[in-house]
Amino acid sequence: MLILILMLIPVLGFSQELQDTQSTAYNTAYSNEYTVNGAQQAESQDFIQNRWAFMFNPPYNFYYGYLQRINDFEIYLPYVGIGLYPTQFSSSWMAVTGVSMYYKRFTWKLEYFHGFVPDMSLLDFKNIEYFGQMYMSYDFYNLRLSSLTKYGRILYAKHSANELELEQNAQVLNGLQQIISFDYSIYNDDFVTMTGYLNLGIKYIQQAQQLSYYVKTVTPLTFNFINSSLGFMTTLFYTDYIGKNREYIIGEHYSGYDEAINMFIRDPEGLYNKFYKFSGTLDMIYRVYIRALPTPANRIYFAVGGNIGFGYNPHDKTDLLYMATAAIGFDYKDKIPFEVRFSMDQNGNVFFNMSVVSPLSHRFDSNLD
């Protein structure tokens, strides 16, 4: 049944701009290259399109709205949707409404999010998040510069001695977050592809007058063979406070780098996988394609991989981190991998993720016209 679903992906024609997940909520959900029915449209000087359109943004976000396009200008106004979005602890189901605009290499989005299911790790309705955010980006030949501004009621937690205290100390507060991102291409040919991105962010909690910053860099490298591919990715993360106010937790949890859902918790502390002030990991994945099958089924692949690294937590302890992964996927248009992944970390916690962009995919394509 799973293979049948994967074979039907080209018919469904999901729209996707090739970008990463770790993440965050700022991924561009729509592409000028693909339409909702899966047909590729050639740009021309008199191309005009007006219709209601369904859009999909991985891993679990769906939108519906009115799409207008005239030559190189495209606007999606208004649209509504639902999706699973990351929080500081886990993830939360939210409703979203907004507008997006594209002109050649420029993208602009203005959205409002409102949770209707609380954070999946806390399940407390007093912790419902709601906020607005604005995203802008511009693509150069080998560089994408983007900005994400987010303000509203965001979930935070005070420093706690154990998991129970952490749940009790979690609350939504007025928060402001700003991220500047640089996506770049390092090397690209038929055999080797190497890209990367650098995120610079600040977070401000209004009630506590607390300010912090973080830096995150990710560099994926892939080798493409006839019937397989091998990928590596290094990730470095660092965060710290600015000023004396340090009441609320900052940092990231290890398993959340690809927005995976925690299916089975063997270690209670694994619910949050700690919050690391500094972490570094090396990922690897090997994909094998079933080329003996007829097209398009020969784009199906199986993958195994994992990562290993270390994290330095706020309690001045360094932890060895590792995770093993198995996946089945489908390369849509030989470019966009749809994957279903299962992972297990060093504590025996099991994670699930389904996405159109693999954690080791290159979210920036330098082949711009």
For 238, the token pair is 């660092």
d(CA 353, CA 15): 19
> For residue 82, what pLDDT is reported?
92
DSSP for 239-281?
A: EEEESS---B--SB-GGGGGT-EEEE-SSGGGGTT--BSEEEE
pLDDT tens digit string along 258-284?
Answer: 556 665 556 555 555 577 888 888 888
Cβ–Cβ < 8 Å for 83, 27: no
Beta strand 261-264 with 278-289: parallel, antiparallel or unpaired? unpaired
Residue 3 has pLDDT above 60, yes or no: no
pLDDT tens digit string along 287-319?
Answer: 898 877 887 788 888 999 988 998 887 777 888
Selection from 45, 131, 126, 17 nearest residue 85 by Cα? 131
How many degrees, rounded to 5, is the angle at CA 127 between CA 124 and CA 129? 135
339 DSSP β-pair partners: 329, 355
d(CA 108, CA 101): 5
At residue 166, the 3 state secondary structure works out as helix
> For residue 16, what pLDDT is reported?
34
The architecture that CATH gives domain 2-355 is Beta Barrel (2.40)
Cβ–Cβ < 8 Å for 20, 363: yes
Residues 6+ apart with CB under 8 A from 123: none
At residue 335, the 3 state secondary structure works out as coil
At residue 361, the 3 state secondary structure works out as coil
pLDDT tens digit string along 147-206?
Answer: 999 999 998 888 776 666 677 778 899 999 999 999 999 998 889 989 999 999 999 999
What percent of the chain clears pLDDT 70, i.e. is strictly above it? Answer: 73
pLDDT tens digit string along 55-92?
Answer: 877 667 889 999 998 888 999 988 999 988 877 777 78
Q: Which helix (H) or strand (E) holds 2?
A: helix 2-7
> For residue 361, what pLDDT is reported?
67
Q: Give the E-state strand segments of 123-227 in sequence order.
A: 130-139, 143-157, 170-188, 192-205, 210-224
Residues 6+ apart with CB under 8 A from 325: 285, 303, 304, 305, 306, 307, 341, 342, 343
The domain limits of the chain are 2-355
For 168, the token pair is 């009790």
Using pLDDT thresholds of 50, 70 and 90, give the confidence band for residue 238. very high
Lowest mean pLDDT segment, chosen from 48-52, 117-121, 346-350: 117-121
DSSP 9: H
d(CA 118, CA 45): 47
Q: How would you label 275-301 residue by residue, b for 16+ Cβ within 10 Å and e otherwise?
A: bbbbbbbebebebebeeeeeebeebbb
DSSP 40: B
